Structure 1
Amino acid sequence: MQPRDLSDHVAYEAGRGIEEVARELGRDPSDFVKLASNENPHGPSPAAAVAIRETASSVSSYPKAVHADLRSAVADRWEVTDEQVWLANGGDGAIDYLHRATVVPGDTVLVPDPGFAYYGMSSRFHHGGVREYGLEREDDFAQDAETVLEAYDGDRLVFLTSPHNPSGSTIPLADVETLADATDDETLIVVDEAYGEFADRDSAVALIEGRDGFEARDDVAVLRTFSKAYGLAGVRLGYAVVPDEWSDAYARVNTPFAASELACRAGLAAIDDDEHVERTVGTARESRAYMRENVDAHVWESEGNFVLVDVGDGSVVADEMQERGVIVRDCSSFGLPGCIRITCGTDEETERAVATLNDVLATLDLERDSTDGTDDSSAEVADT
């Protein structure tokens, strides 16, 4: 007995953790700072941490009541009905639910390249095909309706990421509306706003509900997560906001008790912890600005809690930075081998990352000059 043919499936490559790297290098974990996975440098919402501790003794019960309570709280936040909120085990769980509700064998989904690998992974799990539209580094990974429509061919789902991972670019809501108007009636536009709290953009929920001058639509869905701004990556909690017409589908596609008791209790506490979110967003904006101003390489403008940096050889630079105690993301798995992605950290973490990166880049430049057989003195003689 063997599993079905999985040769078209690619394993998701997560950022490496401090403990893993420390063991591999035989070092103390305290030597390292991890800025590879876009986690919250301030940790979880303090209110959520209290809720998790207080909930520990009740995890023997299924989370039916608290699951309903959290759906209601999220719905209140977005001014939608409870039934429009599809809670899930992380944002990737919500991606799975949307595939379950839409994709049948022979359907295709359209995803960004570079982009979040799980869009395509989930489609293949559900026997769908995957097609791509390119976001070009020469255009600073700009996102607009025209770029997507050039690649569109009747796909069942079209994924947009705003802010985009790994570049940090965003797409205007007017372009999302243009896409929804121009695509087939049976195409769902999915706007992944996992990093939405960090962006100076309105949510695409406005398109679902017909707010801010937009007409209400039944062909747009929005993904959100508690992992980033709320600092709850470890409890795995995300959700989709769907059109009202999709409400009944949730009960038919979700797993029983789609989010755990601990996750739901943490989410209920975190969603009202505005102070923690504001602090987190402020830190990210300061960190982004500091890296753009001080890194000795091209840093793309970003509206996420990370920046993308052009370093020439992402694998070499990431390895060298790791040796010096700063773990960042080599973007080869995104199809960007010349780049690294650095998560926005605290002031101290960001300053350390910038200093380490600049030192690595300078060292590599010196080594390259030495290999080329040139140095400053020989250049000076040649000039004279």
Structure 2
Amino acid sequence: MDSLHLYPEIAATELIARLAARLAVNPEEIALGSGSAEVVTQLIAAAAGEGDEVIFAWRSFEAYPRLVQIAGATPVPIALTSEGRHDLPAMAAAVTDRTKLILVCSPNNPTGTCVMKDELDSFLQTVPREVLVVIDEAYVHFNNGEGTADGLDFFRRYENVAVLHTFSKAYGLAGLRVGYAIAPEQITANLRRVALPFGVTALAQKAALVSLDAEAELRERVDYVISERSRVADALRDGGWSTFDSFGNFIWLRTGERTAFVHQQLWERGVLARAFIGEGIRVTVGNSEMNDVFLTAMRTLSSLREYDTTE
């Protein structure tokens, strides 16, 4: 706190060295940004421009189409499957000679579903090597699913794969903005060219380093969230609500045309959630007290005469 009047180290040497050692990659294969969303912005700006295409699943991270358009490129959204999962064959079929980048979000925000290892292997074997595939793993710490894709494993086996991680979710540093990409050196070099100078502040760098020393606390926090996620999902299903198995720190309510009504009712009962009108509602898994407030609101909502939870 005594040195906040000084500019941060622009290269964040200490943090990058610690991350490289933790992940068993070269320091040159890591590029930092002010949150993984800013790193996505860097990747898109470095890889795509006017006349180029960027493919991603939809619905997925809501910033994807906007960031692609800001870069002057064309967004190519590919609908999720009926199970809320990436339709990788359809994404592969959408690749053209204009495709520069493919974004794969796993666990997917907002549905919470994951891409499986075998299906991602098949997908990458069909994607041209000149197309960069970015595996966005912002919620990876909460992924306890068996057989799901491990981004670092694919980074090590495919020359056109980059992986995104963040300190915003499990580490709890969302307000300080620290994210990073693990990518081939020629990619990270390009990312540094388009990165915001001093984008990762001195306080953020220090907090990230301290967070890396708190693995026991992190594991305890993640285990707690996973336990609460299961409890909340089970209670919702018992109440007749439709939701996917989630591997993030949130749950996706499949409310369809009733989304606006449910969202308003939750708001009036003190619950702030993220509504996607006509599709569903993403609800963050909080502590047990917060989750109980949410479940009480959902039980009340189920009892309302004008609302039916069944499809």
**Same fold (TM > 0.5):** yes
* Cα separation, 2, equivalents of 1:184 and 1:66: 32
Matched, 1:302 2:246: yes
**Partner in structure 2 of residue 152 of structure 1:** 95
Match of 2:123 in 1: 179
Per the alignment, residue 160 of structure 2 pairs with 219
Does residue 87 of structure 1 match 2:32?
A: yes
Q: Which runs of 5+ in 2 are unaligned?
A: none
Residues 52-131 of structure 1 aligned to structure 2 (within 5 Å): 56-64=1-9, 67-131=12-76
Shift of 1:225: 0.8
Contact 1:230–1:276 (CA under 8 A) maintained in structure 2: no
Contact persistence 2:61–2:109 (CA under 8 A):
yes
Instruction: Give the distance between the partners of 2:112 and 2:119, measured in 1 at CA.
Output: 17
Structure 2 contact 243–254 (Cα < 8 Å) conserved: yes
> 3-state DSSP class of the match of 1:101?
helix
Q: Deviation per CA, 1:166-189: give whole Å up to 9, x if none.
A: 111101233323222211222000
Counterpart among 85, 93, 98 of residue 142 in structure 1: 85
1:367 corresponds to which of 302, 306, 309: 306
SS in 2 for 1:326: coil
Cα distance, 1:218 vs. partner? 1.7
Separation in 2 of the partners of 1:362 and 1:273?
44
Q: Hey, which bits of structure 1, 4+ residues long, moved more than 4 A?
A: none
Could you tell me which amino acid in structure 1 is paired with residue 271 of structure 2? V
- Matched residue, 1:354: 295
The offset of 1:228, in angstroms, is 0.4
Structure 1 position 331, deviation (Å): 2.1
3-state DSSP of counterpart to 2:109: coil
Q: Is the 8 A contact 1:218 1:244 kept in 2?
A: no
Q: Distance in 2 between matches of 1:126 and 1:260?
A: 25
Task: Check 1:234–1:95 CA distance in 2 against 1; reply closer, same or farther (3 A cut).
Answer: same
Q: Is the 8 A contact 1:287 1:344 kept in 2?
A: yes
- Percentage identity across paired residues of the two chains: 27
Contact 2:20 2:27 in 1 (8 A): yes
Aligned to 2:180, which of 230, 234, 239?
239
Structure 1 residue 116: Cα displacement: 1.1
Q: Which structure has more helix as a fraction of its residues?
A: 1
C-alpha distance in 1 between matches for 2:48 and 2:306: 52
Aligned residues: 300
Query: Aligned residue for 1:206?
Result: 153
Partner AA of 1:238 in structure 2: G
- Which secondary structure state, in structure 2, belongs to the residue aligned with residue 197 of structure 1? helix
Question: Are 1:229 and 2:173 counterparts?
Answer: no
Instruction: Give the TM-score normalised by structure 1.
Output: 0.74
- Structure 1, 109-118 or 179-188: larger mean CA deviation: 179-188
TM-aligned CA deviation for residue 338 of structure 1: 4.3
One-letter code aligned to 1:303:
F
- Conservation of the 8 A alpha-carbon contact between 1:217 and 1:243: no
User: Which residue of structure 2 aligns with residue 212 of structure 1?
Assistant: none
Q: Which residue in 1 is equivalent to 2:203?
A: 262
Aligned-residue Cα RMSD (Å) equals: 1.8
User: Residue 75 of structure 1 aligns to which amino acid in structure 2?
Assistant: A
Deviation at 1:135, TM superposition (A): 0.3
Q: Is the 8 A contact 1:283 1:344 kept in 2?
A: no
Alpha-carbon distance, 1:66 to partner: 7.5
Higher RCO structure, 1 or 2 (CA under 8 Å, sep 6+): 1
Q: Distance in 2 between matches of 1:329 and 1:269?
A: 31
